[in-house]
Amino acid sequence: MQQLIGKRPNLQFLEIDATSSSQFSQSANYLQAGEPVTILCEGLLMYLTLSEKQQVCANVREILQQHDGVWITSDFTSTISHRQSLQDGPAYQQLTQTISNLTGRSPDNDFQTLESARQFVYEQGFHLVEHSALNVMDQLSCLNILDIQAEEVKNMLAAQSIFVLTLTAAPTDI
């Protein structure tokens, strides 16, 4: 990353167990008081159980309660969109299989529909704004590097969304 963007004092990469409240809260030591934060994750939640997802939400919520900011993720997907991506994209199938082999976990999607994912997010104390992943299609620089056809990626991204989460007043039903 330093080669790509140089050294930036306000950018931290930490290897933590996102389901560990102690590791997650210790990571807040790197944050500056009064400064907003952006928490990013991609490809994590779909490999976690429902209780692990709830713990990650609680950990992120705690950080955002202490620091204003947002959580950006593409991980609140539905079983329907996951199946569609698997059918439409051989590259997505291969990626999913590779991750499953490396982690020993298969995608475990607790959300049958996107609406059930939205409801889960709300119950965890977040407001959600959804953006189509196709909105970034023209900004992808990896297509040539990875020798992936744009049409194949377009099919993969068609069923994907990017979610921007902010805190609601209080989590419900926790």
pLDDT tens-digit map of 49-71? 899 999 999 999 999 998 889 99
Of the chain, the percentage scoring pLDDT greater than 70 comes to 86
Q: Which one has a higher pLDDT value, 120 or 142?
A: 120
Report the C-alpha gap between 64 and 164 in whole angstroms.
13
pTM: 0.77
> Is the per-residue pLDDT at 111 higher than 90?
no
Please tell me the predicted confidence (pLDDT) of residue 60: 95
Question: Which single residue is written with the structure tokens 């944050």?
Answer: 31
Helix (H) or strand (E) holding 87: helix 79-88
Please tell me the predicted confidence (pLDDT) of residue 120: 94
Token reading at 61:
């919520």
SS3 33: coil
Report the C-alpha gap between 61 and 22 in whole angstroms.
14
Report the C-alpha gap between 153 and 142 in whole angstroms.
11
- What integer is the mean pLDDT of 130-154? 79
SS3 84: helix
Angle between helices 79-88 and 90-103 (to 10 degrees): 120
Q: Which one has a higher pLDDT value, 121 or 95?
A: 121
Of 44, 39, 118, nearest in space to 78 by CA: 118
